[in-house]
Amino acid sequence: MPTRACIATIALLAPLATGAPAAGAPEEAQARPEFTPASRSVSNWRMQAGDHTGLAAEQAMALASGGEAKGVTRCVRLNNYWCVKGVGWNGMIAADAEGHAAFASALEGAAVAALLLRRYYMAYSRRSAQAIVARWAPAQCGAVRLVGRPAIPTPPLRPGAKAPPGIAQNRHMLGPDPGLKSKPDALSTGGVGQTLRARWMVRGHVKVAKAAPRSRIAERLPPMMRAPSIAVGLGEKPMAMPELKLASLAMPSLDPVRPEPLRPITSCASETNRLAAYAQKASAGVVASPDDDLALFTSEGEPTPNLALVMLNMSAVEIGPMRADKALIEAGIARAMEALRQARASAEGAGP
């Protein structure tokens, strides 16, 4: 029995497992695949994957009967083997939370992928695999670490404030501090040399000189020499010299040094490697370098055999280890070109 016939038979015998309608259901219900947001899958993705991903007969039958096959990715469940994003594509029935399109069939997804590649190549002039992949699967760079200049510890400015590291240890050298929980060391209690005068000074009997009282008499500055005015009375007015006070020459207080704001540093090293590997696989067997022209279409916009090979390589990357089969890709390209011809005919018929 052919593979597709086996899959269809199993799907009819196990409608609940496969998500397909049972035999005898209305044709409209069988022709309407539905998208389930909870599982992010289309109801007919098992049948589509068994027919169009090149699986072996045993794997295809296990998948159609409701079993889980290895390597089934999200885009396989969406009938979107190239992980196309967007809104308004023909055959698109929904989109997941990240914008990936869910198609009614894998054929619709292949046709949209062919149309999108044609737009990249003809309209956007993205001719190489590197240029196409850079827009098809753009890099997602994120912040990996934060850097900034460390702050310099400063003494506390308010009574009772917690001292930064290094300040409390120095206070042991100046004598006991009732605000400190740690016990003073021998040097702070006994003094230098353990002499009688040293111990007496440590206990706080040293008189501290008070600051000299500030004078209440206003500062009077001697008159400063004025610079002579040039050509007084010939139109130039004498220049008024500002009065200079010594208080204005005082050095302003230095504010505590504040750290620079933290700046995120983004790294795209892993994404750059990913895109380079993607471009290398997409161009394998087509051109020698990912930077060479893939020659996907002619100057008139007709597809070349390279288009099917590039689409095959890209599907292996997007839904790997699975990939779309050649028959699906060729059918999708033919459907895309037929849609373009119908659009041109409609535009010419609607013209003046």
Q: What is the mean pLDDT of each run of 10 residues along the chain (352 residues)?
A: 44 36 45 88 93 84 77 91 90 92 96 96 96 92 50 52 50 46 51 62 60 67 60 56 57 53 63 94 96 96 97 95 94 96 87 62
Q: What angle do CA 4, 9, 10 make, to 5 degrees?
A: 100
Supply the pLDDT for residue 67. 75
How many angstroms separate the Cα of 153 from the Cα of each of 146, 150, 165? 20, 9, 8
Structure tokens at 291: 């930077």
Supply the pLDDT for residue 127. 96
Supply the pLDDT for residue 243. 64
Neighbours of 11 (CB within 10 A): 24
Decide: 81 and 110 in contact? Cβ < 8 Å. yes
- Cα separation, 150 vs 170, in Å, equals 22
Q: Where are the alpha helices (DSSP H) in 186-304?
A: 186-190, 196-202, 269-282
Q: Which amino acid is at 210?
A: K
Neighbours of 282 (CB within 10 A): 27
Q: How far apart are the first and last CA of the chain?
A: 56
- Cα separation, 244 vs 230, in Å, equals 23
Supply the pLDDT for residue 22. 42
Supply the pLDDT for residue 150. 47
- Cα separation, 217 vs 332, in Å, equals 98
Supply the pLDDT for residue 180. 47
- Cα separation, 92 vs 94, in Å, equals 6
